[in-house]
Amino acid sequence: MGINVKNNKVKIENISINKSVPFRLNVYRILSLILISILLYSLKNDEFWKKPYSPKNFKQVLMFVLIIDIGILFTFFINQNCLDKKAEDSYSKNLVESLSKGEVYLSDVPDTSKLEELENPYDSIERGKLERDKDYIWDFAYYEGKYYSYFGVVPALLLMVPYHLITKKLLSTGLVTLIFSLLSIPVISILTKKVIQKYFKDIPFKFMFFSVLIMIFGTNLIFVNVAPRFYELVTVAGFFFSTFGILLIFDSEKEDGKVSYIKIFFGALSLALAVGCRPTTLFASLIIAPILLKIFIRNLKEKKDRIKTVLVVLIPYLVIGGLLMEYNYIRFGNPFEFGENYQLTLNNMKELSYSRLNILVTGISCVLFGLPTFQATFPFIHLNGNIIDTFGYYYVEDILGGVFFISPIAIFCFGIFWLWKKSQNKDLKIFSTILMTVGLILVLFISLKAGSTGRYLLDFSWMFVLAGILIFLEILNSLKTEEGKMILGKVIGYITVFTVIINVLSGFCVIGGKNSMKNNSPSEYYKVESSVMFLK
């Protein structure tokens, strides 16, 4: 009898036959079971879950902080164990070094002579004659013999360039992606809490708790940290600045009718910076338009306050917008060109038409209704590239499933017509509608111009999720019987559990065929797998 090992990557230290397996405590499993048990016991027995949220209630504050901490720790765990720590890219290196020297084009890049010989370098088929990374840089903009970054410059200017100038070292895109992800978790948690407090002051705390948990785990923040590349970096940075800006402006109105113009100013500044991360985030500014309009109308009688309202909103947009337009003009001779039309990618972006409306069915079905593929082994799901064929080319990559599957609470968005018919809360109806409208605009725009990937969901998924939460809570409030409220309480409980599980599992998937915890931190991956597959 013999053992023949054909894989030269395998290192065998020893072989034992019929040796007893030692008993080992699995820390992941024990901590998870303890936390779940305590939570279930508390939900059933503690009265603070049934009372409205109050910052003076220590237990409520503790649970609110706890779920934020859990979200932060798990996102950190996924990012650090999926991260390829040796990897450098053209964003973290070439762009940062160029900006540090005062240059807007990328330096230390491949020779462009072979690219210049092509009749149309933006045609991926014609460019297929060349070798990627040697003869040209993939997914960067090429214009008049120079390379430029299409991806937003704001994260580089705010964090990566100052760090490079001070230390002469480079910050990795993975680390900066993590920084913006960790900042986003408390922001979306507080935003959810503020929104619920404004529209549902007397709602039991457990519904706020479930809602915040859904927002943390159900908006694709975990998924973008599986492959924290420059694609994900600018997306999560745009997400942070958008939600932070909306939070500040949403919170600028006080209960006594007074307005914090400082919050409006920095909220507008944050929303303007989001555009410098990812241009499509400009649509997010529409969400706060009704709030600003309401403040402006209220100040019509006072000329001083009216002018102040306009200035604190316009100045940040004009300053940041002006700088971005100047940056674009220097690079491409067009203040409105971010480099999209000159990108060396799969599509010929210069000729990609917005008129190909037939692919919208594909895009909508993919990002809203798509289902993952299930499997019997850990992590039980994997990415699904299957799409409805509408007889037109459509780009889809690394997408787990649609918003309505990843976060089923979003299904309550279909109750928007009920909301307008039954609810007496005009502000709630307007806010929910504009969240859904902006989300749908982004779905259509991104589907037409880019396609569908998991990271794109971060642009709009939170809008559908938050709208779904608000409509659910209004339905709950409208019920007259305790039995009906108890049933809906169980529904949101099941939805929360499903949302957390499916999105936690997404952190163990493989993106791009190589980015995963299994490849970059196999020991941690198999520890988690053994914690889950203990009956295997």
536 pLDDT higher than 60? no
235-280 pLDDT tens trace: 999 999 999 999 999 999 877 778 899 999 999 999 999 999 999 9
> What are the residue ranges spanned by the domains of the chain?
30-87+206-228+354-532
452 pairs with which residues across the strands? 396
Contacts 24+ apart (CB under 8 A), 43-48: 43/206, 48/205
Residue 463 has a pLDDT of 97
Orientation of helix 289-298 relative to helix 230-250, angle to 10°: 30
Give the integer Cα–Cα distance in Å for 47 and 355.
57
Residue 403 has a pLDDT of 94
Residue 454 has a pLDDT of 87
Residue 8 has a pLDDT of 56
* Mean pLDDT, residues 6-24: 64
- Considering only CA atoms, which of 81, 223, 7 is closest in space to residue 518? 81
Q: pTM of the predicted model, to two decimals?
A: 0.92
Say whether 407 sits in a helix, a strand or coil. Answer: coil
Residue 173 has a pLDDT of 93
133-158 pLDDT tens trace: 777 888 888 888 898 998 999 999 99
Residue 390 has a pLDDT of 63
321 pLDDT higher than 70? yes
Band the pLDDT of 168: cuts 50, 70, 90. Answer: very high
Residue 7 has a pLDDT of 56
Band the pLDDT of 3: cuts 50, 70, 90. Answer: low
